[in-house]
Structure 1
């Protein structure tokens, strides 16, 4: 055959079947599976199970197009189990009962069942519970596939009876291997330059099924000259980056953005910000999270950061996309380079914790208002010192409830504007000590 990107033409004849290319190239044994060697090698979890001759129930967690269904089919073949596939999107409880009953009859006649459940996270908690007795008595070996984090989407009972295996997105080398196999199956090289071949790999974005679908489109072209990257981009609609705004990718990317800002890396922060925008994220969500970052990770080290985020948010509301997104991008850069302090955030959490533990304690009487004679008779407000009448406008009185010791929640850092806050805190602390000694 030709080299990877078709610099020569193969004379091998093709099977001109109408089956989709992805189906024709589906591996027939586990050794042909691309990109998941960490699971399939002899010392990997699946390789070890097969060597021992026993297959546990599994949850295959990974992005689309990386071989979850293929691996499940091949596991059934390798272990001589009857393969049954259902999708949580289209199945209901009545259908599950039929599947379980058929598997029970099959078991009683000496044949086991591997039940492959695609999109298993789509089942609700009670539906997930329905699998448990049939897993426990050996009626089925469950292999579930999910693109979402199982620890969030599957219940604890199901997780405790299954082994979680993480499948990797396909790297460029794995996709190039898949491209070479596709060209061999087609019996000819694709009409692409080497640079266009690299662009094709980028378009697939780690998804093998998407790559094969793109290859199938290209294979129908009748070009005699090889096509470059620009022509390829014109003819193919580049796949949107894999991004589910309600799923795991959403939380992974916002976490990456937040931690890049916290780590004072404006370039990485801009990258993750752009990734989310390209994936279709609502800029208002990003504006809200950026404002949260300003409060949590910068705080009083730069009080202007919060105002700048709110201004950027308002700018977006006035301008819309795409012009308003530039203001949010500027906020990303500012936050990343601002001095960092979580002292106010930590103080807030500490105060909340103490408040939860002491929530029934009343304020001290000397800071209670006394609008009625009865309240004055009960010493409400008695002994209150009006701070503006005190030296330095500071009385040093105790404002905590009786029964708990004075606590210090806020400890400023020696960065940014909090240096000034620390000076003031230390000054008031010294005045308080002086007043108490008097």
Structure 2
């Protein structure tokens, strides 16, 4: 660790943040990641066999990606060469590769750690391929973004992706205990405030230790309560980027909660997204889609509620207009569900693509000219309003289509149950006329 400080221009005895002083010195000191570091885990087996392949560490901030990479280098006897994709370019990569080749020629290995590797563009990512394939470097990339979307398929095929977890309450509590041991006294917090401190970190170990360091400096006359703690500290901002994976994860959770008829969960995910700064009109558009896709004719008022919520938000803005979005979400979550029209539309699109340019039957074609009448246009057409019950039972599919498909099959929920009964009568009438 002293080497790291000297390389940064600091003396080894210079003041250091608590989070840095508590960096694990061995892999068994890393908390919350036993699923990738334990004896039976991927990394555990690699180290036991004396080999380390290139890997991508994917996880949220503050869970130990950099620390794990450094400790892997030590455990494998490799030189630790760190780079940040935020501050490095092609010249830095070439220099790192040349250095690694020189060490390899001397019989020594290099672990090239690339933080925020997803920030390199596709061409830069391709630059890793030959040095990884040749074994010039063992690449350890760290990313907070889904590698499937952000990294080249060719690079992913040469690396094993290991998912690091957000630190749970047990892991965060262990970090607090280590902080107290390092400082020689306990945090001046009541039990509920200690729980609130852990919640403020939102699974980020580094942020928790930074908060703990601030609390340890306070030296209040009596242990702090939760409200008192809130006066001094700020909750960590939720991890959320409106064009990244978390955006899609949360909107998927909202949509599926509505589809699953759980208004409580739906409100929670709506609040999470709005609280993180999501565009309310994006949410309004998605709510309209839910009304069409998942409710449809089971509750025809759902689409009106969704559109009314959008109009209300346009009129009121935030925060008042957000209540209209919440009301629409609850309406949709509590409504009877049917995707029958959605399924029917997809089937109709496939059928239209498969059948080409079949003509409608002649009896339902208009005949504005004598020639068209002579060709049989409109012959035999029956005006449905004049038929008993308002339905003639005529066939409206092309004559060349032998099978009459049933595209729309209403569910037996909500208003579609009554629609199903009517359609059954009308379909029976058409089948009777066809003989």
Task: Report the TM-score, using the length of structure 1 for normalisation.
Answer: 0.90
Q: Where do 1:169-248 residues align within 5 Å?
A: 169-248=166-245
Q: 1:151 to 1:374 in 2, by over 3 A?
A: farther
> For 2:98, which of 97, 101, 119 is the aligned residue?
101
CA-CA distance at 1:368 after TM superposition: 4.4
> For 1:290, which of 266, 276, 287 is the aligned residue?
287
Q: Deviations over 1:207-253 (max 9, x none)?
A: 00111111222233243432221111011122222222222221111
Q: 1:133 to 1:374 in 2, by over 3 A?
A: farther
CA distance, structure 1, for counterparts of residue 104 and residue 266 of structure 2: 54
Q: Deviations over 1:333-364 (max 9, x none)?
A: 21111111111111111112222333444444
Q: 1:142 to 1:385 in 2, by over 3 A?
A: farther
- Tell whether the 8 Å contact from 2:395 to 2:430 is kept in structure 1 after alignment: no
Q: 1:370 to 1:158 in 2, by over 3 A?
A: farther
Secondary structure, counterpart of 1:323 in structure 2:
coil
Q: Where do 1:1-12 residues align within 5 Å?
A: none
- Tell whether the 8 Å contact from 1:395 to 1:435 is kept in structure 2 after alignment: no
Hey, what does 1:84 align to over in structure 2? Answer: 81
Task: Report the TM-score, using the length of structure 2 for normalisation.
Answer: 0.91
Hey, what does 1:59 align to over in structure 2? Answer: 56
Q: 1:364 to 1:143 in 2, by over 3 A?
A: farther
Q: Which has the higher contact order (CA 8 A, sep 6+)?
A: 1
CA-CA distance at 1:370 after TM superposition: 5.0
Hey, what does 1:426 align to over in structure 2? Answer: 424
Hey, what does 1:40 align to over in structure 2? Answer: 37
Q: Where do 1:120-159 residues align within 5 Å?
A: 120-159=117-156
CA distance, structure 2, for counterparts of residue 62 and residue 313 of structure 1: 35
CA distance, structure 1, for counterparts of residue 34 and residue 156 of structure 2: 23
Secondary structure, counterpart of 1:220 in structure 2:
helix
CA distance, structure 2, for counterparts of residue 381 and residue 106 of structure 1: 87
CA distance, structure 1, for counterparts of residue 430 and residue 224 of structure 2: 79
1:28 aligns with 2:25: yes
> For 1:340, which of 320, 337, 342 is the aligned residue?
337
CA-based RMSD:
2.1
CA distance, structure 2, for counterparts of residue 92 and residue 368 of structure 1: 67
Q: Where do 1:273-422 residues align within 5 Å?
A: 273-371=270-368, 381=378, 384-404=381-401, 405-422=403-420
